[in-house]
């Protein structure tokens, strides 16, 4: 019976994904050239895609394994630069000609995979020494590692500020590499969605296997985990690399959305949404230990960030309120503090959104709500 | 040879600042085992306080450094406020991880709050000269008085803090709290007020560090604490976190590494070497240069 | 459990709200000419954004008071890019989705380069006030600017060194900053052309570096008397110049437009004679007594209470350049305006000089070479020369 | 006679010192297959330190632990477990946020064969292994009487059942010898009785050796075949329960001189 349920879950998820995917394709075909769809919605989906993958991959380390890594954007930077440079090199070697060339798809896939692999490789370099250390030390080493990566990329002659030269005269990613302009973003939207769904699925598979159990055990009690025969360092390093792989993939998706790359976007002191600490905010907001929570939180953070800067409703607010929104980072910091203070488990806690359990969950929630209401009324009546 | 001495002096100059900041980090970490990410931002708070107070102080005919008194008060209040509003409630119900994330949030909050205050804004500000220029000449290089004062202050603060934690009643209370909060409560120590006091002292130290930082590097801006705090924390870890003399040692080592890398290896890779040194030391000696390795109780 | 549901409801509401808002379109009155403005209003480079926004606001106010463009009022839609390329692209897309065809922005080359391709694809005009990287503008595109390019600015510094008789120079630059690195590249290229030896090359890892003593000790050791140090005002004033002098370097320090407003960022009470022999190139000279400049400076001071920076001046110029181009085109249609801007015979009389645009869309204008003068307690700027042509 | 057989666990001159303090010194013990041995001693005698040495949590400063004739010097805790030593903790250390069955499954990790590829792509091998491990975990939970709460979070169990879950988790490692650190501490008489029954079942079903630290003298005297007594880190007596009960040094150590 249990196995049937699992099989049904797989079937349901696949069906819904395929359905959504088709819907998206139809929508794309119908509205592909329309301004707001092409210029606002599609680029937003692209950005949500890499933020979702990034946040979910960090959740593996932070939420499931209980290790604070503050250098996650370093891995993303590695991925972004790897994918960008590889695609530029392929173009220079004339392996593909424009985005409609079928060979481009091969280059694209290889670039994305290479981005993940290189990020995973670097994560081994930092993880093997660093993961022997406990929480706080790991945080500081990964933070330092993030800075080293930026520092090194800045100093590499072929990828610093020169290699991905600026603007239309330089080797633009839109023209020469895997970067997608507005029209191409619509055309390749399926790719972003596919990579994201696949990444999230693979992260899920990891968590729902012996690896997931092992790292949750490490999170809950490292000594007891090793006393239960779990090779803690092996699982920690492996998980770190698995997570970095997807951070690298997120980086590749990031490179796809941009015409140029700049290391300052990934830097610790950067005030933007790609700051490593902000990925931590997403994970905490969504719930440490809930991959779907991370994905939802990434979308929320993106929307808040986007709306604060480009939305119209901010200007509808009274002046005293909209004043705060001129400083989006201040809003995030406040949100983070409030969430930690009042709901330290984040929005989802460790709950995973699932299609299969959606209806029973809602039914239970309503039942609980009714029961609570009835109890309250009873209490009132008694009083 | 002159280059060597010059590099050494630059290293000491940077190192003495890192040491002073690291003392504040180590102080707080030693008691509540929390990386107070906001400590760097307390320095920013101290810096801006002095920017605004120095003109007043000068008008009163006092030396510019007297402004540090105001900064100490403001920093201590901000530090204790942070503890009361954010850290204490989280410590009560959260884990180490949530406490650390709160610290990051506080750091972001302070940085961005400063930027949102109209009198501060996004533009950097430059302080007036705090100490008279001049120094001891060794050949063609000059060891500035400011550097010497910073080193002396670091040493004095180190000795005072060390004696305070070892010899006085309050200091012993702090150490008790750091060892075992529950046991400390049983011994009649008010854990909350001890931690509050620790934050007061640690944040007050940030103001002193801000003074010495501004005396040598007179620019104040809202994110100044981020990198400075990070390097100072690295110093504290390198020396052995929670160990007061270790912070000073670590700070000076980091300053020297940074300076010598700039002068002799690559001027644009200094940060990389700083963190490489940290990683290497932590691998060889996970508790830092002066730290003792204490296993978890089973 | 209750709070959890509260959060989820909040979340759903928030998403619906956002999507609804994102779908909104142009909101300005039909009879207005809309110009979009993208600048870093928050974040690390907020100071630039503030400069550009104030300058542009002033220009729009003046134009509207004088009857607008083609008899229609002008409205600026301001957006913030936090000096991040992705945010810049988001801002660009949202402006274009609202139907904006003329955009001023962004402040830095890094951000501007993120939107150039997109602007060409969407056929939207970009007029950048201060993106100086050479590759930003090319022929036959929709990208223009109101400032000269790095190659010109760096070469002017090299030419100045040549003219002053230095055959051996040094460079200190920031390896992590596009602006600083770009100027370093063009300066060193020009040096090679003019036969000047680059005897010492030092860099800093980030703009957060506070100590430049070692870098200048290396300059002293190399025996150079002319150092090109393309940094920004807030690094030059408190750090680079005083530390260079303390390290025993007494030669010339030369910089670029980033030195603008340095006198506001020097250490009061310190010996400021260190700032003698510091030269820099700028878009304009605020102390210029010409009618155009002085009336701008006066109006700006009256409105904001401070002397405008080069960002304020170029932001102001951008609006007037669009005004002239729209009037020439007879409409604010982006393709027509592009054609008007691409007309090389058009002459723009601006605060930052009187110029026409070259084939790529970069102004052909001179650079003011300015030196700092100090009596020991204050620092003032003095115009040395205006260079219009490279040797 | 057990003496002729090879001991499953043997220590030779095992010792550890923290700084200058010798917590355990010259500790020698031989445990034979199927035996139930008790380790007793007053508070602070070093019993838990011995357990930590026997499971590799502390690396010994002197001496060796030998399991099935193989020395385990320099091995990490998880390697001790792989070799066949499992333990419970004095202060319960469960994986609190995980469900009861997941706690047991986590301890099976080392015996699950599939790799990363099989796990992420859900090959038939994965399903087979997962099915096997679920069955095994359920069986162990049934033995320990926890089958009814298998899906609840471990932290939500009452104290006595948490103890049992710890035992179930230890059993999942397929050990040769089980070390129980004060399993009856804090239990009421009913719970203790249940625990005793549980231990008996385990001995019958698995035939493993058990080393037990316990304060509850009656429990130790009742079930242990042999008892070793330590005080101040040193063995002061060893023998059958009745011998120990009559030993003067033991009485002195417990009652104080």
Question: Do A5 and A51 sit in the same domain of this protein?
Answer: no
- Structural domain range at position C213: 151-282+368-387
- Structural domain range at position D224: 2-97+175-255
The distance of B25 to chain D (nearest Cα, Å) reads 28
What pLDDT sits at residue D184? 84
Contact with chain B for residue C207, Cβ under 8 A? no
Q: Say if residue A74's pLDDT is above 60.
A: yes
Token reading at C141 = 């595109």
Say whether A269 and B111 touch across the interface (CB within 8 A): no
Q: Do chains D and C touch (3 or more CB pairs under 8 A)?
A: no
- Structural domain range at position A358: 353-383
Please indicate, yes or no, if residue A325 is contained in any of the structural domains: no
User: Domain holding D24: CATH number?
Assistant: 3.40.50.300
Q: Say if residue C2's pLDDT is above 50.
A: no
* Backbone torsions φ then ψ of D156, nearest 5 degrees: -85, -5
Question: Do C260 and C311 sit in the same domain of this protein?
Answer: no
Question: Do A24 and A105 sit in the same domain of this protein?
Answer: no
In angstroms, the CA C125 to CA C96 distance is 10
Contact with chain B for residue C346, Cβ under 8 A? no
In angstroms, the CA A239 to CA A223 distance is 18
Residue A111 CA, distance from chain mean position: 18
D34: left (phi over 0), alpha (psi -120 to 50) or beta: left
For chain D, positions 180-239, list CB contacts with chain A under 8 A: none
Q: Say if residue A320's pLDDT is above 80.
A: no
Please indicate, yes or no, if residue C27 is contained in any of the structural domains: no
Please indicate, yes or no, if residue C50 is contained in any of the structural domains: yes
Number of domain units in chain C: 2
Which residues in chain A have Cβ-Cβ distances shorter than 8 Å to B115?
A: 327, 330
Q: Say if residue A161's pLDDT is above 60.
A: no
Which residue has 């394994």 as its token pair? A65
Q: List the subunits that have 3+ CB pairs under 8 angstroms with B.
A: A, C, D
In a 13 Å sphere around the CA of D13, the CA atoms on its Cβ side amount to: 3
What pLDDT sits at residue A158? 65
Stretch among A38-42, A187-191, C340-344, C348-352 having the lowest mean pLDDT: A38-42
Q: What is the pLDDT of residues A113-143, one digit of tens each?
A: 999 999 999 999 888 888 777 667 788 888 8
Question: Do A3 and A38 sit in the same domain of this protein?
Answer: no
The distance of B242 to chain C (nearest Cα, Å) reads 27
What pLDDT sits at residue C275? 92
Question: Do A141 and A232 sit in the same domain of this protein?
Answer: yes
Q: List the subunits that have 3+ CB pairs under 8 angstroms with C.
A: A, B
Question: Do A121 and A252 sit in the same domain of this protein?
Answer: yes
Is the ipTM of this structure higher than 0.85?
yes
Token reading at D202 = 């385990």
A347 class by beta-carbon count within 10 Å (0-12 exposed, 13-18 middle, 19+ buried): buried
Question: Do C137 and C71 sit in the same domain of this protein?
Answer: yes
Token reading at A126 = 């930092």
Say whether A216 and D121 touch across the interface (CB within 8 A): no
**DSSP code of residue B129:** P
Q: List the subunits that have 3+ CB pairs under 8 angstroms with D.
A: A, B
In angstroms, the CA B98 to CA B121 distance is 30
Q: What is the pLDDT of residues B130-165, one digit of tens each?
A: 888 777 887 777 788 888 888 898 889 889 988 988
Determine the residue of chain A that is closest to D78 in CA distance: A229
Question: Do A128 and A223 sit in the same domain of this protein?
Answer: yes
Mutation site, C1, C5, C6, C21, interface A, largest A CB count within 10 A = C21
Question: Do C252 and C376 sit in the same domain of this protein?
Answer: yes
**CB atoms near residue D70 (< 10 Å):** 11
* CA-closest candidate to residue A184, choices A251, A104, A128: A104
What pLDDT sits at residue C277? 92
In angstroms, the CA C243 to CA C164 distance is 24
Asked which of A216, A248, A274 is the last residue of a domain, the reply is A274
In angstroms, the CA D179 to CA D77 distance is 13
Q: Say if residue B92's pLDDT is above 70.
A: yes
Say whether C42 and A329 touch across the interface (CB within 8 A): yes
- Greater confidence (C193 vs C27) lies with C193
Confidence of residue A169 (pLDDT cuts 50, 70, 90): very low
Which residues in chain A have Cβ-Cβ distances shorter than 8 Å to D169?
A: 228
What pLDDT sits at residue A171? 62
- Which CA distances in Å does A314 have to A68, A327, C18, C68? 34, 12, 11, 28
Number of domain units in chain D: 1
Averaged pLDDT score across all residues of chain C: 86
* Backbone torsions φ then ψ of D209, nearest 5 degrees: -85, 150
* CA-closest candidate to residue A76, choices A258, A212, A260, A263: A263
Q: Say if residue A2's pLDDT is above 70.
A: no
Confidence of residue C200 (pLDDT cuts 50, 70, 90): very high
Stretch among A52-56, A328-332, C249-253 having the lowest mean pLDDT: A328-332
Q: What is the pLDDT of residues A328-376, one digit of tens each?
A: 777 778 888 888 888 877 777 777 777 777 777 778 778 877 888 888 8
For chain B, positions 266-295, list CB contacts with chain D under 8 A: 295
- Greater confidence (A271 vs B276) lies with B276
Token reading at A244 = 């970095």
In angstroms, the CA C158 to CA B205 distance is 47
Question: Do C155 and C230 sit in the same domain of this protein?
Answer: yes
User: Domain holding C230: CATH number?
Assistant: 3.40.50.2300
Confidence of residue C16 (pLDDT cuts 50, 70, 90): very low
Residue range C184-212: average pLDDT?
Answer: 90
Residue range C361-388: average pLDDT?
Answer: 86
B219-233, C34-48, C190-204: range with highest mean pLDDT: C190-204
What is the dihedral angle through the alpha carbons of C149, C153, C159, C163, rounded to the nearest 10 degrees? 140
* CA-closest candidate to residue D144, choices D205, D92, D230: D205
Q: Is D84 helix (H, G, I), strand (E, B) or coil?
A: coil
In a 13 Å sphere around the CA of A253, the CA atoms on its Cβ side amount to: 29
Question: Do C166 and C272 sit in the same domain of this protein?
Answer: yes
Say whether C248 and B267 touch across the interface (CB within 8 A): no
Answer yes or no: are the C-beta atoms of C125 and C338 closer than 8 Å: yes
- Which CA distances in Å does D91 have to B266, C315, D43, D48, D183? 53, 68, 15, 11, 10
Q: Do chains D and A touch (3 or more CB pairs under 8 A)?
A: yes
Answer yes or no: are the C-beta atoms of C110 and C116 closer than 8 Å: no
Stretch among A177-191, B63-77, B249-263, D120-134 having the lowest mean pLDDT: A177-191
Please indicate, yes or no, if residue C353 is contained in any of the structural domains: yes
In chain B, count of helices (H) and strands (E)?
12, 4
Confidence of residue C15 (pLDDT cuts 50, 70, 90): very low
pLDDT of chain D, 257 residues: tens digit per residue:
444 578 889 998 888 888 778 888 888 999 998 889 999 888 878 888 898 899 888 888 888 999 988 888 888 899 999 999 999 998 889 999 899 999 999 999 988 888 899 998 888 999 999 999 999 999 999 988 899 998 889 999 988 889 999 999 999 998 889 999 988 888 888 888 888 888 888 888 888 899 998 877 778 888 888 999 888 888 888 888 888 888 888 888 877 65
Question: Of C22, C112, C122, which is closest to A167 when you measure between CB atoms?
Answer: C112
- Which CA distances in Å does C268 have to A144, C234, C250? 35, 14, 21
In angstroms, the CA C167 to CA A376 distance is 89
Q: What is the pLDDT of residues B273-285, one digit of tens each?
A: 888 888 888 878 8
Q: Say if residue C7's pLDDT is above 70.
A: no
For chain D, positions 49-68, list CB contacts with chain A under 8 A: 55, 57
Please indicate, yes or no, if residue C301 is contained in any of the structural domains: yes
Question: Do C118 and C206 sit in the same domain of this protein?
Answer: no
Q: Which residues of D130-148 are buried (b: 16+ CB within 10 A; e: fewer)?
A: beebbebbbbbbebbbbee
- Greater confidence (A178 vs D216) lies with A178
For chain D, the residue count is 257
Contact with chain C for residue B136, Cβ under 8 A? no
Determine the residue of chain A that is closest to B113 in CA distance: A330
Question: Of C211, C217, C239, which is closest to B3 when you measure between CB atoms?
Answer: C217
In angstroms, the CA B268 to CA C105 distance is 30
Q: Say if residue A271's pLDDT is above 90.
A: no
* CA-closest candidate to residue D253, choices D224, D222, D227: D227
Q: What is the DSSP string of C116-150?
A: HHHHHHHT-EEEESS---GGG--TTSSEEESS--H
Confidence of residue B116 (pLDDT cuts 50, 70, 90): confident
What element of type H or E holds C102? strand C102-104
Helix runs in C247-309, H state only: 291-304
Token reading at A38 = 């092409």
Measured over the CA atoms of residue D96, residue D99, residue D102 and residue D104, the dihedral's sign is positive
Question: Of D55, D95, D133, which is closest to A217 when you measure between CB atoms?
Answer: D95
What pLDDT sits at residue D169? 94
What element of type H or E holds D87? strand D85-87
What pLDDT sits at residue B275? 84
Question: Do C303 and C189 sit in the same domain of this protein?
Answer: no
Number of domain units in chain A: 3
Question: Of C213, C238, C267, which is closest to B10 when you measure between CB atoms?
Answer: C213
Please indicate, yes or no, if residue D41 is contained in any of the structural domains: yes
Please indicate, yes or no, if residue A292 is contained in any of the structural domains: no
Q: Say if residue A311's pLDDT is above 80.
A: no
**CB atoms near residue A204 (< 10 Å):** 17
Question: Do C275 and C223 sit in the same domain of this protein?
Answer: yes
The distance of D26 to chain A (nearest Cα, Å) reads 24
A74: left (phi over 0), alpha (psi -120 to 50) or beta: alpha
Averaged pLDDT score across all residues of chain A: 82
Residue range A81-89: average pLDDT?
Answer: 89
Residue B127 CA, distance from chain mean position: 20
Rg of chain D over all Cα atoms, to the nearest angstrom: 19
The distance of B271 to chain A (nearest Cα, Å) reads 7
Answer yes or no: are the C-beta atoms of A225 and A217 closer than 8 Å: yes
Mutation site, B295, B296, B298, interface D, largest D CB count within 10 A = B298
Contact with chain B for residue A320, Cβ under 8 A? no
Stretch among A148-157, A251-260, D127-136 having the lowest mean pLDDT: A148-157
- The distance in angstroms from the start CA to the end CA of chain A is 48
Residue D35 CA, distance from chain mean position: 13
What pLDDT sits at residue A270? 57
What pLDDT sits at residue C1? 39
Asked which of A274, A304, A335 is the last residue of a domain, the reply is A274
In angstroms, the CA C316 to CA C56 distance is 4
Token reading at C202 = 């030092």
In angstroms, the CA A76 to CA A78 distance is 5
What pLDDT sits at residue C241? 94
What pLDDT sits at residue C205? 83
Answer yes or no: are the C-beta atoms of A64 and A219 closer than 8 Å: yes
Q: Is D63 helix (H, G, I), strand (E, B) or coil?
A: strand
Please indicate, yes or no, if residue D65 is contained in any of the structural domains: yes
Please indicate, yes or no, if residue C28 is contained in any of the structural domains: no
Measured over the CA atoms of residue C111, residue C112, residue C118 and residue C124, the dihedral's sign is positive
Question: Of C87, C117, C137, which is closest to A309 when you measure between CB atoms?
Answer: C87
Q: List the subunits that have 3+ CB pairs under 8 angstroms with A.
A: B, C, D
Q: What is the pLDDT of residues D41-76, one digit of tens each?
A: 888 788 888 988 998 888 888 889 999 888 888 888
Residue range A88-113: average pLDDT?
Answer: 88
C228 class by beta-carbon count within 10 Å (0-12 exposed, 13-18 middle, 19+ buried): buried
**CB atoms near residue C385 (< 10 Å):** 15
Question: Do A6 and A42 sit in the same domain of this protein?
Answer: no
* CA-closest candidate to residue A155, choices C37, C206, B268, B3: B268
For chain B, the residue count is 298
Q: Is A254 helix (H, G, I), strand (E, B) or coil?
A: helix
* CA-closest candidate to residue A126, choices A241, A254, A34: A241
Please indicate, yes or no, if residue A346 is contained in any of the structural domains: no
In angstroms, the CA C280 to CA C53 distance is 24
Question: Do A96 and A21 sit in the same domain of this protein?
Answer: no
- Greater confidence (D231 vs B96) lies with D231
Question: Do C124 and C50 sit in the same domain of this protein?
Answer: yes
What pLDDT sits at residue C3? 43
Confidence of residue C169 (pLDDT cuts 50, 70, 90): very high
The distance of C233 to chain B (nearest Cα, Å) reads 10
Please name the residues in contact with A308: beta carbons below 8 A apart, sequence gap of 6 or more. A314, A325, A328, A331
Residue range A209-234: average pLDDT?
Answer: 92
Asked which of A274, A308, A325 is the last residue of a domain, the reply is A274
Which residues on chain D place their C-beta less than 8 Å from a C-beta of chain B? 48, 52, 57-58, 89
Question: Do A258 and A228 sit in the same domain of this protein?
Answer: yes
**CB atoms near residue C260 (< 10 Å):** 26
Averaged pLDDT score across all residues of chain B: 87
Question: Of B13, B218, B268, which is closest to C204 when you measure between CB atoms?
Answer: B268
Say whether A141 and B89 touch across the interface (CB within 8 A): no
């Amino acid at each position: 019976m249990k196995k049937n349920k699992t099989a049904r879950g797989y079937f349901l998820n696949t069906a819904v994904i395929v359905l959504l995917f088709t819907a998206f394709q139809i929508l794309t075909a119908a509205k592909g050239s329309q301004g707001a769809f092409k210029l606002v919605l599609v680029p937003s989906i692209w950005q949500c895609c890499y933020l979702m993958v990034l946040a979910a991959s960090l959740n593996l380390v932070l939420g499931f394994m209980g290790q604070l890594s503050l250098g996650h954007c370093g891995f993303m930077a590695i991925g972004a630069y790897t994918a960008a440079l590889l695609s530029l090199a392929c173009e220079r070697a004339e392996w593909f000609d424009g985005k409609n060339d079928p060979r481009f798809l091969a280059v694209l896939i290889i670039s994305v995979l290479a981005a993940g692999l290189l990020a995973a490789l670097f994560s081994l370099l930092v993880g093997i020494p660093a993961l022997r250390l406990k929480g706080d030390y790991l945080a500081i080493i990964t933070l330092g590692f993030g800075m080293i990566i930026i520092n090194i990329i800045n100093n590499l002659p072929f990828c610093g500020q020169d290699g991905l030269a600026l603007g239309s005269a330089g080797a633009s990613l839109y023209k020469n590499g895997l970067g997608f302009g507005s029209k191409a973003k619509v055309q390749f939207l399926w790719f972003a969605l596919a990579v994201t769904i696949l990444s999230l699925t693979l992260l899920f598979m990891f968590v729902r296997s012996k690896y997931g159990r092992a790292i949750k055990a490490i999170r809950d009690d490292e000594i007891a985990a090793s006393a239960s025969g779990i090779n803690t360092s092996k699982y920690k390093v492996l998980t770190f690399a698995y997570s970095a792989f997807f951070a690298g993939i997120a980086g590749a998706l990031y490179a796809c959305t941009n015409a140029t790359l700049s290391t300052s976007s990934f830097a610790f002191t950067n005030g933007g949404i790609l700051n490593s600490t902000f990925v931590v905010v997403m994970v905490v907001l969504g719930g440490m230990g809930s991959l779907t929570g991370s994905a939802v939180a990434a979308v929320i953070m993106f929307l808040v960030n986007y709306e604060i800067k480009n939305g119209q409703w901010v200007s509808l607010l009274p002046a005293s309120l909209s004043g705060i929104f001129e400083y989006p980072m201040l809003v995030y910091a406040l949100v983070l503090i409030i969430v930690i203070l009042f709901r330290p488990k984040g929005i989802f806690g460790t709950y995973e959104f699932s299609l299969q359990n959606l209806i029973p969950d809602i039914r239970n929630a309503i039942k609980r709500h009714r029961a609570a209401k009835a109890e309250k009324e009873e209490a009132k009546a008694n009083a | 040879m002159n280059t060597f001495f010059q590099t050494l002096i630059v290293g000491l100059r940077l190192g003495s600042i890192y040491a002073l900041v690291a003392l504040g980090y180590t102080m707080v970490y030693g008691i509540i085992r929390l990386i107070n990410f906001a400590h760097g931002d307390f320095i920013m708070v101290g810096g801006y306080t002095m920017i605004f107070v120095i003109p007043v102080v000068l008008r009163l005919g006092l030396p510019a450094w007297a402004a540090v008194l105001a900064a100490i008060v403001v920093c201590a209040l901000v530090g204790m406020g942070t503890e009361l509003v954010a850290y204490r409630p989280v410590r009560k119900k959260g884990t180490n991880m949530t406490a650390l994330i709160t610290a990051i949030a506080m750091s972001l909050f302070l940085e961005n709050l400063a930027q949102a205050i109209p009198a501060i804004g996004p533009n950097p500000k430059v302080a007036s000269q705090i100490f008279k220029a001049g120094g001891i000449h060794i050949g063609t290089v000059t060891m500035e008085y400011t550097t010497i004062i910073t080193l002396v202050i670091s040493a004095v603060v180190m000795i005072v803090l060390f004696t305070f934690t070892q010899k006085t009643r309050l200091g012993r209370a702090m150490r008790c709290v750091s060892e075992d909060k529950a046991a400390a409560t049983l011994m009649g120590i008010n854990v909350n007020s001890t931690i509050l006091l620790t934050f007061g002292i640690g944040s007050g130290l940030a103001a002193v560090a801000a003074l010495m930082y501004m005396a040598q590097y007179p620019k104040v801006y809202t994110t100044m604490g981020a990198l400075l705090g990070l390097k100072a924390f690295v110093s504290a870890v390198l020396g052995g976190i929670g160990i007061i003399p270790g912070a000073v040692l670590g700070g000076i080592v980091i300053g020297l590494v940074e300076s010598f890398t700039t002068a002799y290896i690559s001027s644009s890779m200094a940060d990389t070497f700083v963190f490489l040194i940290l990683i290497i030391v932590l691998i060889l000696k996970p508790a830092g240069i002066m730290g003792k390795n204490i296993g978890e109780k089973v | 459990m209750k709070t959890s549901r509260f959060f989820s409801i909040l979340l759903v509401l928030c998403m619906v709200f956002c999507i609804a808002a994102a779908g909104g379109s142009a909101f300005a009155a039909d009879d207005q000419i809309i110009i979009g403005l993208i600048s870093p209003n928050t974040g690390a480079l907020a100071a630039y954004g503030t400069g550009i926004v104030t300058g542009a606001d002033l220009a729009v106010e003046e134009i509207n008071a004088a009857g607008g463009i083609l008899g229609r009022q002008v409205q600026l839609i301001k957006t913030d890019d936090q000096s991040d390329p992705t945010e810049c692209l988001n801002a660009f897309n949202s402006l274009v989705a609202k139907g904006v065809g003329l955009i001023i922005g962004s402040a830095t080359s890094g951000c501007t380069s993120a939107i150039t391709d997109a602007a060409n694809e969407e056929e939207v005009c970009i007029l950048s006030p201060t993106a100086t990287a050479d590759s930003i503008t090319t022929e036959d595109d929709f990208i223009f600017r109101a400032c000269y390019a790095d190659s010109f600015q760096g070469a002017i510094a090299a030419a100045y060194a040549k003219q002053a008789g230095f055959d051996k120079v040094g460079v200190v630059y920031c390896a992590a900053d596009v602006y600083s690195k770009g100027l370093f590249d063009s300066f060193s290229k020009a040096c090679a052309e003019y036969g000047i030896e680059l005897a010492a090359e030092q860099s800093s890892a980030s703009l957060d570096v506070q100590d430049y003593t070692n870098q200048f000790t290396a300059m002293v050791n190399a025996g150079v008397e002319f150092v090109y140090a393309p940094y920004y005002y807030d690094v030059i004033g408190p750090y680079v110049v005083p530390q260079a002098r303390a390290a025993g370097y007494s030669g010339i320090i030369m910089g670029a437009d980033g030195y603008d407003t340095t006198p506001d960022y020097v250490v009061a009470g310190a010996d400021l004679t260190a700032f003698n022999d510091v030269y820099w190139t700028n878009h304009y000279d605020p102390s210029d007594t010409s009618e155009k400049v002085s009336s701008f400076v006066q109006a700006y001071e009256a409105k904001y209470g401070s002397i405008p920076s080069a960002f304020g001046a170029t932001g102001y110029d951008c609006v007037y350049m669009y005004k002239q181009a729209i009037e020439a085109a007879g409409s604010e249609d982006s393709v027509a305006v592009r054609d008007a801007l691409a007309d090389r015979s058009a002459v723009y009389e601006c605060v930052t000089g009187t110029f026409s645009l070259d084939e790529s869309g970069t102004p052909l204008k001179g650079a003011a070479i300015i030196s700092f003068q100090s009596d020991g307690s204050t620092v003032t700027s003095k115009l040395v020369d205006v260079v219009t042509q490279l040797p | 006679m057990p003496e002729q057989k090879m001991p499953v666990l043997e220590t030779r001159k095992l010792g550890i010192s923290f700084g200058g303090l010798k917590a355990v010194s010259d500790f020698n013990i031989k445990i034979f297959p199927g035996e139930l041995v008790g380790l007793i001693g007053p508070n602070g005698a070093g019993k838990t330190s011995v357990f930590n040495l026997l499971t590799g949590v502390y690396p010994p400063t002197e001496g060796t632990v030998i399991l099935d004739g193989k020395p385990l010097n320099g091995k990490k805790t998880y390697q001790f477990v792989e070799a066949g030593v499992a333990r419970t903790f004095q202060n319960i250390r469960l994986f609190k946020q995980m469900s009861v069955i997941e706690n047991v499954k986590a301890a099976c990790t080392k015996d699950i064969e599939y790799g990363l590829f099989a796990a992420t792509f859900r090959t038939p091998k994965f399903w087979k292994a997962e099915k096997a491990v679920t069955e095994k975990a359920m069986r162990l939970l049934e033995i320990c009487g926890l089958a009814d709460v298998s899906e609840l979070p471990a932290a939500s169990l009452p104290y006595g059942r948490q103890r049992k879950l710890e035992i179930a988790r230890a059993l999942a490692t397929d050990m040769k010898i089980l070390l129980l650190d004060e399993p009856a501490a804090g239990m009421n008489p009913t719970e203790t009785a249940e625990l005793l029954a549980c231990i008996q079942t385990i001995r019958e079903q698995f035939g493993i050796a058990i080393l037990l630290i316990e304060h509850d003298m009656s429990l130790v005297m009742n079930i242990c075949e042999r008892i070793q007594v330590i005080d101040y880190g040193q063995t002061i007596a060893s023998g059958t329960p009745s011998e120990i009960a009559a030993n003067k040094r033991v009485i002195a150590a417990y009652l104080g001189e």
